Amino acid sequence: MPPNQVDVNVHPTKAEVRFTDPDEVFTGVQRSVRRALLAYSPVPSVQAQVRWSPPEPSIRSDQVGWQRPASDPHRFPAAGQGPHESGDQPQQPPATQPALSAADVPLLRLIGQVGSAYLVAEGPDGLYLIDQHAAHERILFEKFMAQRSQQVASQALLDPVTVELNSASARLLEEQLPAMENLGFEIEAFGPNAYKVRRMPALLVGSDPAAAVRSVIDDFEEDETPLQNEIEAKIIGRVCKRAAVKAGKSLSFEEQKALLRDLEACQSPRTCPHGRPTMIHLSIDLLERQFGRTGAR
């Protein structure tokens, strides 16, 4: 590091130094430590899960260039196929996929955003495509669960929101009010089958409190009532899904970086709370085969 970027005279006993760019120093140390750890904990490859070989070119004497066959059964599945938002149905990973942990995600270098829905990042072993909605769900869920052991931080609404329900939904909400209050909501009756939301969890500030309440009720209407110790986790999963950044939202580069760093810090960064993948991995080997560069190195 150039000497002009370090100030060693900020403490009389030299017990403290100051860097011109402390964030850069932190990132450098973090990168070195993670690379050292990853040398003993390699990232699982998707090669065992996806077989993807380049299609045969279709070229005629009167045709210029390359044409993809009409049907290509080996296409790599796109992240987030189907609805933009991650679904509620848990998806079990293939039997060949090893158990995943936070160490399975290497330190990634952000490249940018594609289609206002996915982040593209480079790792030491290839490219990673990250579903921004599913990733944000996972981040919010783990932050919520970490706060649950203490008192969940909540924030008063400047303009309390009224939620009007039918009688059946109102009964369901009454049953779940204690759990929702434990999670930072303050909801009070406001006339027949109407409720006023006065406070909401600080993690969800900026999202629609009425939509969050309705989504929780919808969840309990559709599914069997879970065990008492599962109710709060179910509510957390639902409100995080509702509050997470949506596909179609353009993020600044700094917002993209923050999302990526927060995901790297998660205990289970590879799936959203409902079991859908937050990312797919395209290895260097896979890319070289797809571009016909096998054996080039």
Give the mean pLDDT of 137-156.
87
pLDDT beyond 50 at 121: yes
Specify whether the CB–CB gap between 184 and 154 falls below 8 A.
Answer: yes
Cut 0.75: pTM above it: no
Q: Length of the chain, please?
A: 297
**Euclidean distance between CA atoms 25 and 27, whole angstroms:** 5
Tell me how far apart the alpha carbons of residues 237 and 142 are, in angstroms, rounded to a whole number. 10
* Winning range, highest mean pLDDT, from 4-13, 33-42, 77-86: 4-13
Q: Which residues pair with 113 in a beta bridge?
A: 119
**Distant-in-sequence, close-in-space partners of 104: CB < 8 Å, separation ≥ 6:** 41, 43, 44, 269, 270
Query: Alpha-carbon distance 49 to 98, whole Å?
Result: 11
Report which listed range, 28-42, 88-102, 164-178, is most confident.
164-178
Three-state secondary-structure class, residue 36: helix
241-267 mean pLDDT: 92
Residues 6+ apart with CB under 8 A from 36: none
Q: Give the model's pLDDT for residue 72.
A: 39
More confident of the two residues 289 and 103: 289
What does the alpha-carbon distance between residue 151 and residue 183 come to, in Å, rounded to a whole number? 8
User: How far is residue 72 from each of residues 60, 67, 287, measured CA to CA in Å?
Assistant: 19, 12, 17
What DSSP string describes 78-118? PTT-SSSS--SS--PPPTTSPP--GGGS---EEEEEETTTE
Helix (H) or strand (E) holding 280: strand 279-283
Domains defined along the chain, listed by start: 152-243 (3.30.1370.100)
Pairing of strands 126-131, 186-189: unpaired
Q: How high is the mean pLDDT of the chain?
A: 75
Res 253 pLDDT > 90: yes
End-to-end CA separation in angstroms for the chain = 34
Report residue 132 as tokens: 């921004």
pLDDT in tens, 38-81: 555 444 444 444 444 444 443 333 433 333 334 333 333 333 33
The CA-based dihedral angle spanning residues 171, 177, 179, 184, taken in that order and rounded to the nearest 10 degrees: 150
Per-residue pLDDT of 200-220, as tens digits, reads 988 888 888 888 888 888 877
Q: Work out the percent of the chain whose per-residue pLDDT is above 70.
A: 66
pLDDT of residue 154: 86
